[in-house]
Amino acid sequence: MAVLVIADHNNASLNDATNKTVTAAKTFGEIDVLVAGEGAGAVAEAAAKIDGVRKVLHADGAPYKTQLAEAMEALVTPLMANYDAVFAPATTTGKNIAPRIAAKLDVMQLSDITAVVDTDTFERPIYAGNAIQTVKSSDAKKVVTVRSTAFEAAADTGSASVETIDAAAGPFKSSFVSEDLSVSDRPELTSAKRIVSGGRALGSEEDFEKYMFPLADKLGAAVGASRAAVDAGYAPNDYQVGQTGKVVAPELYIAVGISGAIQHLAGMKDSKIIVAINKDEEAPIFQIADYGLVADLFSAVPELTDAV
């Protein structure tokens, strides 16, 4: 059996979610990685180093600069004649592309899987992570998106070959206009080992930055936020952790001024150690926190920043 893994990248570097997706795909046997981009030769070289990869298929063309779904589907669907499955990381890019491919192949997709039982059977969380479903697919080909926090990253010790393939012919009915990416020197949220996350109790954008950023920098942590903090404008929306934001599973997750609504817990309850700092001792976050501190964050956070 053979499986195609769609690489997640920004044309300059490979997202580590790709390595994790390769790990998830191992049960399927031979693994090829597709790198579709514009000027993404270095990414293809990086993908060739992932342990367990047979070969890298590299498609270069303007429509792949931002991996728009229409162009990606037109590229991947014909390739599927050679594969039993296609795996993509459950990033916003993977989630955008994969169901379009599944519909063209007339198969049901398996979204956001957290475990591979066998080549037909997968585990995935449902109801905001409040239940785990084991499903068996009767489709001939599998289209799967992978929750990267559930798998270890495959090492970069391989040496696969890179094969250039033709880009799909357009034109496509969608086109890229612009993007506005958040600039951050801190680790990327979904792959960070430590995360400090702020909620509504921070009260303002100024205080969010004043209290959360120094703690994050001291710990070498990424900064996350609850939906309430994002909606109130205290933090940009790509900081949001939860069912509708990012799913993270760092070694250490420090929730500051976050009550712990189920939608938020869905995004972080697989973290190894959870710390909650909240002045409301009844806050639901304390039910899942390994260490809880009932305190005013405006005094506790600076004290913690000084102490670490």
Partner 1 sequence: MKVLVPVKRVIDYNVKPRVKPDQTGVDLANVKMSMNPFCEIAVEEAVRLKEKGIVTEIVVVSIGVAQAQETLRTALAMGADRGILITAEGDVEPLAVAKILKAVADEEQPGLILLGKQAIDNDNNQTGQMLAALLDWPQGTFASEVVVEDGKVNVTREIDGGLQTVALEGPAVVTTDLRLNEPRYASLPNIMKAKKKPIDTKEAASFGVDISPRLTVLKVTEPAEREAGEKVEDVATLVSKLKAAGAL
As a whole number of angstroms, the distance between CA 255 and CA 131 comes to 23
Residue 15 or 23: which CB sits closer to partner 1?
Answer: 15
Asked whether position 12 contacts partner 1 by CB under 8 A, the answer is: no
Asked whether position 131 contacts partner 1 by CB under 8 A, the answer is: yes
Choose one: 31-39, 89-97, 161-169, 195-203; the region binding partner 1 (CB under 8 A).
Answer: 89-97
Q: What is the DSSP letter of 108?
A: -
Asked whether position 178 contacts partner 1 by CB under 8 A, the answer is: yes
19 residue type, one letter: N
Asked whether position 73 contacts partner 1 by CB under 8 A, the answer is: yes
Q: How far apart are the first and last CA of the chain?
A: 50
Q: Which of 161, 177, 185, 282 binds partner 1 (CB under 8 A)?
A: 177
Residue of 218, 156, 186 whose CA lies nearest to 19 = 156
As a whole number of angstroms, the distance between CA 172 and CA 308 comes to 52
SS3 assignment, position 53: strand
- CB contact set of 303 (below 8 Å; sequence gap of 6+): none
Minimum CB separation from partner 1 for residue 94, in Å?
A: 10
Residue of 1, 141, 168 whose CA lies nearest to 85 = 141
Minimum CB separation from partner 1 for residue 177, in Å?
A: 4
Choose one: 28-36, 161-169, 204-212, 300-308; the region binding partner 1 (CB under 8 A).
Answer: 300-308
Asked whether position 213 contacts partner 1 by CB under 8 A, the answer is: no
Which x/- pattern, by CB under 8 A, does the window 99-128 give for partner 1? xxxxxx-xxxxxxx--------x--xxxxx
Q: Which of 18, 23, 243, 259 binds partner 1 (CB under 8 A)?
A: 243
- CB contact set of 92 (below 8 Å; sequence gap of 6+): none
Q: Which of 95, 141, 186, 210 binds partner 1 (CB under 8 A)?
A: 95
Minimum CB separation from partner 1 for residue 159, in Å?
A: 29
Residue 24 or 277: which CB sits closer to partner 1?
Answer: 277
Asked whether position 300 contacts partner 1 by CB under 8 A, the answer is: yes
Instruction: Give the up-direction half-sphere exposure of residue 205: CA atoms within 13 A in the CB hemisphere.
Output: 9
Q: Angle at Cα 150 formed by Cα 5 and Cα 94, nearest 5°?
A: 35
Q: Angle at Cα 177 formed by Cα 174 and Cα 183, nearest 5°?
A: 130
Site for partner 1 in 215-234 (CB under 8 A): 219, 227, 230-231
Site for partner 1 in 246-285 (CB under 8 A): 246, 251-252, 262-263, 269, 272-275, 281
| Tokens 């239940």, located at residue | 131
